[in-house]
Amino acid sequence: MPELPEVETTLRGISPHVVAHRVTTVRVREPRLRWPVPPDLARNLKGQTITGLTRRAKYLLFHTHRGTMLLHLGMSGSLSIKPRQAPAAKHDHVDFILDGERCLRFTDPRRFGSLHWCGQTPLAHALLRDLGPEPLGPDFSGNYLYAASRGRRIAIKQHLMNARIVVGVGNIYASESLFRAGIHPLRSAGRIARIRMHRLVAEIRQVLTEAIAQGDTTLRDFSVGDGRPGYFQQALEVYGRDGQPCRRCGTPIRAIRQGQRATYYCVTCQR
């Protein structure tokens, strides 16, 4: 399910229910996620107050005085806030009881998500250590992306989805931002001019920002975890529009495969 905007929306939705609240019980029904849920996770977290909730790439970081829990939603994961005694459905794998009252529930049909426990320096964790800059942060600039693309023969679309280059640009927004920037997804990263990289970075930031804003709107209309929109019903320009006319020029949108992932683009608007 989640690309970065969905993760950010999840963070904003659950934050008020989680931050400054105490985890009184951890219930792991299914430890077989992408990696086994650490056996000591419950012991470490139990009794701790969540002092802060942050995000790095698509990981959510639950901070406590004893350490930090990392949570990744994988492709089909979601978090919801439920009453303490809410009956568990099929893919409800982990419950965190908060103040003995409410329940933060992790649901994930495909079990590509994961939970980790790490110490006081979570950013040093192996999964976070080598990640590139945040797409909405100050370090992600046209100059940076240009420099990070020198000598790279890989297609720009796959380059954007490389978390060592920049985090949080998933399959949907890679296609969408390349369309907005007028860049062909198959073009070699190393053969894109600096000025076009500036444009591309601006479009990535713009499309992610719009999606997050839409998430905020959605949050106002639906409480966290009635599981409402899986992903944003945003007006996507190319993603999933194979054969439909380009909104800009009318040429049918084309679908191809790049590294086992679907790519959508307009042959006329993107060069």
Partner DNA sequence: CCGGACGCCTGTCGGC
Partner DNA sequence: TGCCGACAGGCGTCCG
Q: Which residues are catalytic?
A: 2-3, 58, 261
Cα–Cα dist 141/148, whole Å: 10
Least distance from C-beta 198 to DNA, angstroms?
21
The smaller minimum CB distance to DNA, of residues 19 and 112, is found at 112
Reading the block at residue 79, the tokens are 């978090």
β partners of residue 71: 60, 115
Least distance from C-beta 268 to DNA, angstroms?
22
Reading the block at residue 6, the tokens are 């969905």
The smaller minimum CB distance to DNA, of residues 43 and 228, is found at 228
Residue 125: what are its φ and ψ, rounded to 5°?
Answer: -60, 145
Among residues 110, 143, 135, which one has the least CA distance to residue 30? 110
Among 71, 118, 145, 172, binds DNA (CB under 7 A): 172
Does residue 254 bind DNA (CB under 7 A)? Answer: no
The smaller minimum CB distance to DNA, of residues 81 and 170, is found at 170
Least distance from C-beta 55 to DNA, angstroms?
11
Does residue 144 bind DNA (CB under 7 A)? Answer: no
Does residue 12 bind DNA (CB under 7 A)? Answer: no
Identity of the amino acid at 124: A
Instruction: Considering only residues 146 through 165, tell me which ones interact with DNA, judged by CB under 7 A.
Output: 151-155, 158, 161, 163
Does residue 3 bind DNA (CB under 7 A)? Answer: yes
Give the x/- contact pattern for DNA in 120-139, rule: CB under 7 A: ------xx------------
Question: Please, what's the b/e burial string for 13-37 (b: 16 or more CB within 10 A of its CB; e: otherwise)?
Answer: bbbebbeebebbebebeeeebbeeb
Report in angstroms the alpha-carbon separations of 127 from 22, 52, 100, 209.
26, 20, 31, 25
Reading the block at residue 199, the tokens are 């444009």
Cα–Cα dist 247/57, whole Å: 31
Among 11, 42, 75, 88, binds DNA (CB under 7 A): 75
Cα–Cα dist 113/57, whole Å: 14
Does residue 1 bind DNA (CB under 7 A)? Answer: yes
Residues that bind DNA (CB under 7 A): 1-3, 6, 32, 34, 57-58, 72, 74-76, 90-91, 109-112, 126-127, 151-155, 158, 161, 163, 170-172, 189, 230-232, 259-262
